[in-house]
Structures are given as C-alpha cells and as structure tokens.
Structure 1
Amino acid sequence: MSSSEPAARHVLVTGATRGIGRAIAAAFVAAGDRVTVLGRTPRSAAAAAEALGPTATSVAADVTDAAALTAALAAAADASGPIDVLVSNAGGADTAPLARMSVDALRAMMALNVEPLLVAAQAVVPAMKARGGGRIITIASTAGLKGYAYVGAYCAAKHAAVGLTRALAQELARSGVTVNAVCPGFTDTDLVAGSLDALEAKTGRDRADLLAEFTKVNPMGRLITPDEVAAACLWLASPAAGAVTGQAIAVAGGEL
C-alpha cells in the first residue's frame, strides 16, 4: 500500500463467502484493509472471515430482508468502525424463456439484485458524507449492459442495478462519495460450474461443449477470473480513482 493510501479502511463486501465476493474480500485484506464479510448465514460468513485472517470479521443477513440488512450493516459499523468502502456483490440469476417468465420471477430478481443496493446505500451514505467521502461499488454484470436470451428477468434487474448506480453517482458527486459498477462477463465461479452441471444433466451434452457456449461471447475465449474482478474493485476504491464515478466497467475480455 502506498503512502497515499488510507490506512486500514473498513471494507464491507456482501455475498463474500464464495466466488467473486470472496475474491474481492481477499484482495482488500491483502491490501491491508479491515474487511467485513457479509454472508447469508452466520456460519458461512464466520467461516469465510476466519479463512481470510485476523483483519476480517463477519455479519450475516439475507440481503432481500431490508431490516436484517440494515441491522447487519449497523452491527458491522459498530464493531469495526464506519464503512469506508461498500461492495454490493450479493446477487443471483434465474433462467426462463419468455413464455415461462412470470412477474413473480421478475420481482424476485429485482428483490435480490436491485433492492439491496438501495438499502445498503441508504445505510452507509450518511456516515460517508459526514466524513467527506467513501466508495460504493456494485457488482453488476454484462447482463446490465446488453441482453442475453432466456435470462430476461436477470438482465432487467442488472440493467436496473447499473441505472441506480449511475443515478446515485450523480446525486453524490459533490459529497466525495463515488458510486460505480463493475460488470463481469461469465466468470469462473461455483455458480457457473453449477449451471454447467445442470445443463450437462439436463441435455446430456459434453461439458466442454457447454463451456464453449459460455466462453464464445468473450473474444479472449475464456472465463473471467474472480481475481480480475477484484482488481477492478481495488482500483475503484483507490485514491487514483477519485474522479471516477457513475461508470459501469466491463471486465469481460472485450465482449462489449
């Protein structure tokens, strides 16, 4: 960490028990920051924090429960100090063709991928403004910047996540709080592995062929790594990115 870096910032990452969120939490720990892992259950969050080392702590909440999420963020601030960097990573996808996509499914995607962004921002921004600055980073998706077949509800939610990010960036621009989105393409996580498992079982197709379907949209011909997404977050949280706000940065191998 350079001499210009703030010492031991408090970074909270939602959905940090695995995949991209876990990699982001690990990157901030390695950078010398105090990290709070927010997971769905106390056990999973505590296990992830323990694995990350002594500068990591944990809180638990279902991010779709606004009251529980607000309480968890307050508990994290009480335990480790005001939150300097909020990384809203928790989310999920659902697949269905148009004919089987329900309004309830759309609402569920919004409740998981959009509403927690608002709740978390409302919880942390007052203290950030009082201290003269802060960082809010949304982990969105290339699905927030383009369309993919059969994931219409997910695409709609991630587009909304990017829109909310851009709107908050405008509103908070004079406060010292920056608000940005990182939009990964298909990433090498257990969620993608689970999707491949399901498709393999359902279709009987070769796993390598199925993986090729995921990677063909990436000109580099591969999955993104969680560490590559984490590196983008580290930069957005750094002093060097102080004038960067309202952006949706694709980490997608040239897909967009």
Structure 2
Amino acid sequence: MISDKLLTGKHALVTGGSRGIGAAIARTLLSQGACVTLLGRNKESLCGTVQALKGLGGSGYELNYVVADITSSASVMAAFAQAVDVFGCIHILVNNAGQAHSAPFAKTDEVLWQQMLSVNLTGTFHCTQAALPSMLEAGWGRIVNVVSTAGLVGYSYVAAYCAAKHGVIGLTRALALELATKGITVNAVCPGYTETDIVKDAVANIVAKTQLSEDQAKAELAAHNPQKRLVEPDEVANAVAWLCLPGSAAMNGQALAVAGGEVM
C-alpha cells in the first residue's frame, strides 16, 4: 500500500462508499491522511462502514457520510453541500457508485436501459458537476471514475451496462482536456471481475440459469483474467489512490485496466 500520508489536508468524497471497492478506496485514502466522506443510498450501511473504518484507524481518521441518490441532481447537490460543511472544500471525487444488470439485447427494455444510464453515467455527471466548483476554487483536484473493463471492451448480455460505462470513459477524456490547465486531473480505473456484490449477483445469475455450481460459475468469470483469478477490491483502491496523489499530476484522461492483463 502507498504510504507517507501524501493526501493530508485533502477532502475526498467516495460514492458507493459503504461496501466493496468503495469501502476499500475509502480505507486507502484515509491511510494517506485524507478526510473522507462516504456517499450512498443506505444510511444503515454507511454508518456500519464508518464505524468499521474508524475502528481500524483510531481517532486520527477523519470520516463522515452523506446519504444521496446519485440519479437526482437535487439530492446530490444537497449531499455535497453537507459534506463541504463538515470537511470543507472537496479536492478528490471518486465516482464509484454503479449497478450492473444482465439481459439479452432483445430483452433489454427501456426501463433497464434508462436505469443503467441513470446510475452509471448520469450519476457520474451529477456528482462531477457538484464537486467541480470546490476544485476550481482550490486550483487543485482529482476526479477518478471507477468504470469497469466493460468501458473498454464489449461483453455480451450487458449491452446497456457497457454503453453506460463506455459513456463514462468518453466523459473522462473530454473533461480531462477541458480541465487540463486548471490543476485538476480526470482519470478512470477499469477493474475486471472483482470480489464484490456485483460479481456475487453475477455468479448467482449464472447458477440460476445453468447447471454450474457456484464455484464453477466463479471460475467462469475468473477465466476472463489471464491470472485466472478475481481482482481484489484493495488492488483497485491502490490504483485509485495513486491517481489521487500530488505526484500523479501528469496522469490525465487515462483509463487504467486493473484486470490481470485482460485488456492490453
């Protein structure tokens, strides 16, 4: 893990921060000295994660949470205002919240299509717009979008999810150019199949629709990775944290695959 608390004095907001990759990112940023605000929809889950992370770090860890629905601009703006009231200017935004649902394209209705776009793409748009004023005022910022290898390549049966994630990559690149002289970088981290609830749901879906066991279904997903394993949340978190460091200022508009060589 990166050390030396290089993010002391910085305020990071992590969406989807109550579990999985989001919680791992929060833990890593805290270890670097940042104040961290977790954002999510479930207050109980957020409270539990805050208590768990505080228990790891002791009183020196500055940690808070806000509740919001990222598909709602008004909800996001109110939550970000609360976060600023507690820890001040937001210097780092990690857009980690997302959803994945699978369906053959012919059975992908407009409701599913819009849900994937709203959560994965529009939610990133809302949160980025809410965070930018603080960063522009400070003359320094880091925006990291946790995307997926689905933003870099195509996968069958998740057309809506792939379309949304490709959209986030496009947003990342466009905004990186727009902000390049403002002291703000915009990058994406694209995990392969990772040990998260989304993958657990995917495994359950495979088991329900095939004759495979849970272990066989997991192995089928792990087979996409040349290392023949699932990625760990901490591995994604370390990549995110590195992009947030002051010394990573030349990294801009990039989409880093954390996938064991699946995407080259």
Residue 102 of structure 2 is aligned to residue 95 of structure 1: yes
Alpha-carbon deviations, 1:132-153, whole Å to 9, x = none? 1100000001000000000000
User: Runs of 4+ in structure 1 displaced over 6 angstroms?
Assistant: none
- Taking the TM superposition and a 5 Å limit, the aligned residue runs for 1:215-226 are 215-226=222-233
What is the aligned partner in structure 1 of residue 40 from structure 2? 39
Distance in 2 of aligned mates of 1:198 and 1:123: 35
What is the aligned partner in structure 2 of residue 196 from structure 1? 203
Aligned residues: 255
Residue 130 of structure 2 is aligned to residue 123 of structure 1: yes
Residue from 85, 88, 97 that aligns with 1:81: 88
Offset of 1:20 from its aligned partner? 0.5
Q: Which moved further from structure 2: 214-223 or 201-210?
A: 201-210
Distance in 2 of aligned mates of 1:181 and 1:253: 16
Distance in 1 of aligned mates of 2:85 and 2:62: 15
Offset of 1:108 from its aligned partner? 1.2
Q: Which moved further from structure 2: 221-230 or 119-128?
A: 119-128
Offset of 1:101 from its aligned partner? 1.1
Unaligned runs of 5+ in 2: 55-60
What is the aligned partner in structure 1 of residue 262 from structure 2? 255
Offset of 1:124 from its aligned partner? 1.3
Distance in 2 of aligned mates of 1:145 and 1:90: 18
Distance in 2 of aligned mates of 1:109 and 1:153: 6
**RMSD of Structure 2 on Structure 1 (CA):** 1.3
Q: TM-score, normalised by structure 2?
A: 0.93
Return the letter of the residue paired with 1:82: C
Q: TM-score, normalised by structure 1?
A: 0.96
Return the letter of the residue paired with 1:69: V
- CA spacing shift, 1:100–1:247, aligned 2, 3 Å: same
Residue 71 of structure 2 is aligned to residue 64 of structure 1: yes
Distance in 2 of aligned mates of 1:46 and 1:207: 31
Residue 136 of structure 2 is aligned to residue 135 of structure 1: no
Distance in 1 of aligned mates of 2:51 and 2:37: 11
What is the aligned partner in structure 1 of residue 57 from structure 2? none
Return the letter of the residue paired with 1:213: E
Alpha-carbon deviations, 1:209-237, whole Å to 9, x = none? 21121011111110010000000011000
1:182 counterpart SS class: strand
Distance in 1 of aligned mates of 2:133 and 2:33: 25
Offset of 1:6 from its aligned partner? 4.3
Contact preservation (8 Å) 2:4, 2:32: no
Return the letter of the residue paired with 1:103: E
1:201 counterpart SS class: helix
Return the letter of the residue paired with 2:178: E
What is the aligned partner in structure 2 of residue 27 from structure 1? 28
Residue from 184, 195, 205 that aligns with 2:191: 184
Q: Which moved further from structure 2: 173-182 or 190-199?
A: 190-199
Offset of 1:100 from its aligned partner? 0.4
Return the letter of the residue paired with 2:132: V
Distance in 2 of aligned mates of 1:205 and 1:243: 46
Distance in 2 of aligned mates of 1:8 and 1:234: 15
What is the aligned partner in structure 1 of residue 121 from structure 2? 114
